[in-house]
Amino acid sequence: MKKPVLKIIPLGGLGEVGKNMMVMEYDGRLLVIDAGLSFPRDELLGIDLVIPDFSFIRERADRVEAVLLTHGHEDHVGALPFLLREIKVPVYGTRLTLGMVRAKLEEHGLAEEADLREIEDDRPEQIGPFHCGFISVAHSIPDGVGVAVTTRVGTVVHSGDFKLDPNPIDRRRTNLGRFGDLGGKGVLMLLSDSTNAEVEGVTGPEKSVGKTLDQIFSLASGRVIAASFASHIHRIQQIVDAARRHRRKLTVVGRSMIRNVQIARDLGYLKIPEEMLISMGEIGDYRPGKICVLSSGSQGEPLSALSRMAAGDHKKVKLERGDTVVLSAKPVPGNEVSVNNVINSLFKLGVNVVYESVSPVHVSGHAAREELKMLINLTQPKFFMPIHGEYRHLHFHAELAEEMGIDRHRIIKASNGDVVELSAGKARIAGSIAAGMTFVDGLDVGDIQDVALRDRQKLSRDGTFIVVAPVREQDGTLVSPPDVTAKGFVYMGNRRELMKEISGLVKDILGETAGERISDPAVLQDHIHRRLAKFLWKKTRKRPLILAIIVEV
């Protein structure tokens, strides 16, 4: 009789931060754990999101049992709408996770046909040949779970993202007893979060940030603008609590922040007194010391609410001397330059800026080394596989597992696309499959295709316009006339007159932005791109590729 085989195939999240996605294959059936995205590096111009390559799943769509979500962060659920366009399967998650996912699916027009199934910590699910148990874990978002997947081969424990916070905001601790019970019954392999495998000791408690926020609010004479991840519900609750203690009204800005705050309030995960909330239009009705603005954009995203405030381009919130901006988040690897640019722009405006490097306004949601040791100790796995992190994180986590007594030959250091086989008490990397990345261009919502191919199609059909505008770094004023070049653009009217009109339009745009004290290159490029695209469509009924280049002098 052929011995049963369980395959574990990471499609993302190994050797990188974000894009977390894992496939388990047993008895010809597939179980997908998480479907996350990552944000593009600076050199990936024109790309909005990066998601896993779904080829392996797409080719086996009829064999997929379900998608199981560990929690609601974008790096674990952000790619789900794109996946559900290709396969129609049930999606399992906790109440808050599904609430956030449902809103995301509505944006993509997929909510009505989605099969969303709520899971609970103490209620296992039989999903095809996979017996799935769920373990509550503390993280920087409520309702996170680890997963124990059992087949005839044995039990594999997936930690999800976790930390061992002894007194979390929602009192929902990591269930160490449950992990210990699994260890007592026998864990074949532990897949464990490696994000903080370099960090000694234990991760600080989330409540410690609340004390710092309270101090900041007590010293702030003007408005407090607090930026965090829109999904960090625990951090948002602490910002709300600090504002309430200091009798400040609260307004929420940024599309993702407004959406998540509403979802979390509706589901009972976020407590904000109704009388505390005001609209952005009401900010001027109160003196600055009575206002708190909760904003998205803690990662320096070019067109986010905070970045627009820093550039002086936000329609409702104009920052002034005396305001305090709190960045209550750590830059995701790759976002450091963008975050630093926002911080520098804020200082130029004369506001007080508080961020992780100068004040303890952030703690991680991921377990440090002593906590990782605890999980290994409790589960006593026969085999160990580090997941979720860059290669150095996986390396240090593997070393830690060896320190804890796991034989190095039982530690599997896999990469995205590796096929890890578990059978007859053995584990090995048996091969690999294609597991690259897919670029998403968000100009058309949900349009997945090779961005280079899209640009070539545009070039062949409508050509391209290149606008080079030299501006003063200090104030964004135009130094000399913009240089406008058209390639492959066919126009039956007076081409010279059209180019003069475009040059004049760019001058007008930059004159307006300079008057509003906007100097951030990304914002200036966005203004030119939007206005010029609208002008060319109205004038010529063509949509050429527009490259706006701001040269600071």
Give the pLDDT confidence of 136-176 residue by residue, as tens digits.
999 999 999 999 999 999 999 999 999 999 999 989 999 99
Tokens of 425: 């008490």
Q: Enumerate the β-bridge partners of residue 470.
A: 551
Q: Indicate the average pLDDT of the chain.
A: 90
Whether pLDDT at 447 is above 70: no
Percent of the chain with pLDDT over 70: 94
Q: What is the pLDDT of residue 458?
A: 57
**Across 106-125, average pLDDT:** 92
Percent of the chain with pLDDT over 90: 65
**Across 44-58, average pLDDT:** 81
Whether pLDDT at 46 is above 80: no
Out of 211-215, 244-248, 318-322, 417-421, pick the least confident: 318-322
Is residue 444 among the annotated active site residues? no
Q: What is the pLDDT of residue 66?
A: 98
Sign, CA torsion 377/381/382/383 = negative
pLDDT band at 126 (very low <50, low <70, confident <90, very high): very high
Out of 180-184, 262-266, 289-293, 454-458, pick the least confident: 454-458
Whether pLDDT at 526 is above 90: no
Out of 53-67, 165-179, 430-444, pick the least confident: 430-444
Residue 7 vs residue 498, higher pLDDT: 7
Whether pLDDT at 366 is above 90: yes
| Residue 25, H or E segment | strand 21-26
**Across 333-340, average pLDDT:** 80
In sequence order, the 6+-apart residues with CB closer than 8 A to the CB of 454 are: 441, 447
**Across 39-65, average pLDDT:** 81
Residue 544 vs residue 409, higher pLDDT: 409
Whether pLDDT at 331 is above 50: yes
**Across 233-262, average pLDDT:** 94
CA–CA separation, 140 and 365 (whole Å)? 5
pTM for the full model? 0.80
In sequence order, the 6+-apart residues with CB closer than 8 A to the CB of 257 are: 230, 294, 295, 296, 305
* CA angle in degrees (0–180, nearest 5) for 543-544-546: 115
Whether pLDDT at 453 is above 60: no
**Across 375-389, average pLDDT:** 97
Task: Please report which residue ranges of 186-277 form alpha helices under DSSP H.
Answer: 207-219, 233-245, 255-266
Find the catalytic residue in 158, 234, 314, 366.
366
Total number of residues shown for the chain: 553
Q: What is the pLDDT of residue 459?
A: 57
CA–CA separation, 299 and 81 (whole Å)? 23
Contact between residue 253 and residue 305 where contact means Cβ atoms under 8 Å apart: yes
Query: Residue 229: helix, strand or coil by DSSP?
Result: coil
Whether pLDDT at 446 is above 60: no
In sequence order, the 6+-apart residues with CB closer than 8 A to the CB of 407 are: none
Whether pLDDT at 443 is above 50: no
In sequence order, the 6+-apart residues with CB closer than 8 A to the CB of 416 are: 10, 11, 12, 13, 14, 15, 16, 52, 435
Tokens of 441: 């261009």
Query: Residue 213: helix, strand or coil by DSSP?
Result: helix
CA–CA separation, 31 and 523 (whole Å)? 42
Find the catalytic residue in 75, 161, 165, 193.
193
pLDDT band at 516 (very low <50, low <70, confident <90, very high): confident
CA–CA separation, 528 and 548 (whole Å)? 7
Out of 6-15, 210-219, 253-262, 313-322, pick the least confident: 313-322
Q: What is the pLDDT of residue 448?
A: 44
CA–CA separation, 55 and 9 (whole Å)? 13
**Across 361-377, average pLDDT:** 96
**Across 484-492, average pLDDT:** 80
pLDDT band at 44 (very low <50, low <70, confident <90, very high): low
Tell me the three-class secondary structure of 59-100, residue by residue: CCHHHEEEEECCCCCHHHHCCHHHHHCCCCCCEEECHHHHHH
Tell me the one-letter amino acid at 505: L
Q: What is the DSSP letter of 466?
A: E
Q: Enumerate the β-bridge partners of residue 295.
A: 227, 253
In sequence order, the 6+-apart residues with CB closer than 8 A to the CB of 410 are: 382, 383, 384, 427
pLDDT band at 515 (very low <50, low <70, confident <90, very high): confident
Q: Enumerate the β-bridge partners of residue 9.
A: 23
Q: What is the pLDDT of residue 461?
A: 65
Q: How far is CA 33 from CA 12, 124, 346, in A?
A: 11, 15, 40
189-193 vs 383-387, strand pairing mode: parallel
Domains in the chain with CATH codes: 6-201+364-439 (3.60.15.10), 207-354 (3.40.50.10710), 450-552 (3.10.20.580)
Q: What is the pLDDT of residue 544?
A: 85
Whether pLDDT at 457 is above 90: no
Is residue 193 among the annotated active site residues? yes
**Across 354-359, average pLDDT:** 91
Whether pLDDT at 203 is above 70: yes
